[in-house]
Amino acid sequence: MTLTAVKAINCTSCGAGLDVLGGGRVTTHICPYCGTKLDATDNYRALKRFNDVPRPQTPFPIGTTGTILGVDYTVIGLLEQVERWAGKTYAWLDHQLYSPTHGYAWLTLEQGHCTFSRRYRRPLWMSDHQVARANHRPSLWDNGEQFKYYESSTSEIRYAEGEFSWQPRKSDKTSTVTVLGDTRMLSFSATGREREVEQTTYLSADDVKQGFGIDPGFAPSRVHPLQSFKAGPNAGFQIKTSAIFAVLCLVLAGVFAGQSGRDILGRVSVSRADLPFEQVLEGIAAGELVQLRLAGNGINTWSEFELEVSDPEDEVLFSTVRAVERYAGRDADGNWSEGSNRAKATFRAPMDGDYTLYIDVDSEGAWTGSGAIRPSQWNQLSVSVDAGRKVIRWMVFAAAAFGLLAGWPWWRAYRHNAARWRDSDWVDEDDD
């Protein structure tokens, strides 16, 4: 009888019955009952007691079978690994998997996420020294996919049970450099003089449910670096439709902007002698938006004009004041000017008919200061009125809203990608 034909043994330390699941390359079997490490290559001779901590909880106990990427695997070993950094301890569970056709692999549980790792037999390597010497985030290419440095870690085993194709040792520390691509993660691990490259892919909760027939009850609070962004089923529709509506709104805004209202009073020039100025505004329709515009020609002076509008029934509709003021001069920094010789007032007509506009100066004055141009009061005041004005800002708001709706799926993808790299330990001001 060969060793690989053995289906079960009794622990040579405590006598407990142990299933043998792991195939012919298993070298170590750690009894889950007494924690003794047995030498599978030497009649399961007891080597030493391994575990002195409680067994961690896992939804994949030894003997669990399932399918990953179309391959049937059996869980044959369990490792709890820990990393201590910055006063904190991070723990995860590695499950040694065995397939009679595909060999050994790892199923890892960490912070509610599940990943699948296999040895990667490609001539790729990135060392701690390379990372330490790099001025920019190190990267490498494999099969057309770029992998960028993610993190360096040093882990050790806290708990082990079951079968392994190698000899777990509690004192051994494993240094790992991890690089991250869009769909895969590559890990370059070194333990003493041994080194190994592993490729890791993400297993979603659905993958686990379908592959193992169990609901692992994952409730991850953070995005895993390998977790791909899943856009909603309507994301493409939302982007295209919102973009079309945004363009439509901008086109309509342009159309409305082109309809700037019809002239009621076209640029009448008023002199000081014409004040108080009175003008009938003919043919204004109920509900129309009407705008009065003033333009003076003074400099370093201010004039407050009183505007009053009466409705077709000769009742005062409103009275208000608008200032026209412009200042200019020269200082150490050169010529300067501020203020405006233009002013406007906009109202809504409550009824059809002819309105009356009255204008007079309410108050005015001059400003003289260091470097100021000599004050000059206005002598010509341009008055114009139009009605039926449009307000295009509503179309601009709508276009902006549709733009946000179109950009929302992209923004979510951007945030997700940022979350994938959040825990990377690389710090570089030039890093993108």
Partner 1 sequence: MNLFRIIFLVMSCAIVVGASYLSYNGIGGENRDISNSIRAASGGRGFGGNVK
Q: Which residues bind partner 1 (CB under 8 A)?
A: 233-234, 237-238, 241-242, 245, 248-249, 252-253, 256, 276, 278, 287-289, 306, 308, 310-311, 314-320, 345-348, 350, 356, 358, 360, 388-395, 397-398, 401-402
CB of 352 vs partner 1, minimal distance in Å: 15
Going by C-alpha positions, the residue among 104, 68, 92, 106 that lies closest to residue 208 is 68
Burial class (CB in 10 A: 0-12, 13-18, 19+), 313: exposed
Identify which of residues 178 and 310 has a Cβ nearer to partner 1 in the complex.
310
**Closer CB to partner 1, 166 or 277, in the complex:** 277
Tokens matching residue 73: 């695997």
Please report how close the Cβ of residue 382 comes to partner 1 at its closest, in angstroms.
19
- Tell me how far CA of residue 127 lies from CA of 103, 147, 286, 299, in angstroms: 27, 14, 80, 73
* Residues 286, 303: Cα–Cα separation, whole Å: 32
Q: What is the 3-state secondary structure (H, E, C) of 257-316?
A: HHCCCEEEEEEEEECHHHCCEEEEEEEECCCCEEEEEEECCCECEEEEEEEEEECCCCCE
Q: Which is nearer to partner 1, 12 or 291 (CB)?
A: 291
Residue 278 Cβ vs partner 1, minimum distance, rounded to whole Å: 7
Give the shortest CB-342-to-partner 1 separation in angstroms.
15
* 62 vs 406, beta carbon nearer partner 1: 406
Q: Which is nearer to partner 1, 21 or 309 (CB)?
A: 309
Separation CA 374–CA 372 (nearest Å) = 6
Nearest distance, CB of residue 209 and partner 1, angstroms: 25
Q: State in angstroms the smallest separation of the CB of 64 from partner 1.
A: 38
CA distance 183 to 249: 39
Task: Tell me whether residue 120 is exposed, middle or buried, using C-beta atoms within 10 angstroms of its C-beta: 0 to 12, 13 to 18, 19 or more.
Answer: middle
CB of 255 to partner 1, least distance (A): 9
> What are the backbone angles phi and psi of residue 393, rounded to the nearest 5°?
-65, -25
Tokens 């890093």 locate to 431
Q: Which is nearer to partner 1, 208 or 359 (CB)?
A: 359
User: Smallest distance from the beta carbon of 305 to partner 1, in angstroms?
Assistant: 12
Instruction: Please say which residue, 141 or 397, places its beta carbon nearer to partner 1.
Output: 397
Q: Between 93 and 253, whose beta carbon lies closer to partner 1? A: 253
Kindly tell me which of 183 and 346 has the beta carbon lying closer to partner 1.
346
284 C-beta neighbours (distance < 10 Å), count: 23
CB of 235 to partner 1, least distance (A): 11
**Dist CA 407 CA 418 (whole Å):** 16
Dist. CA 85–CA 365, nearest whole Å: 73
DSSP 320-354: EEEEEEEEEEEETTEEEEEEESEEEEEEE--SSEE
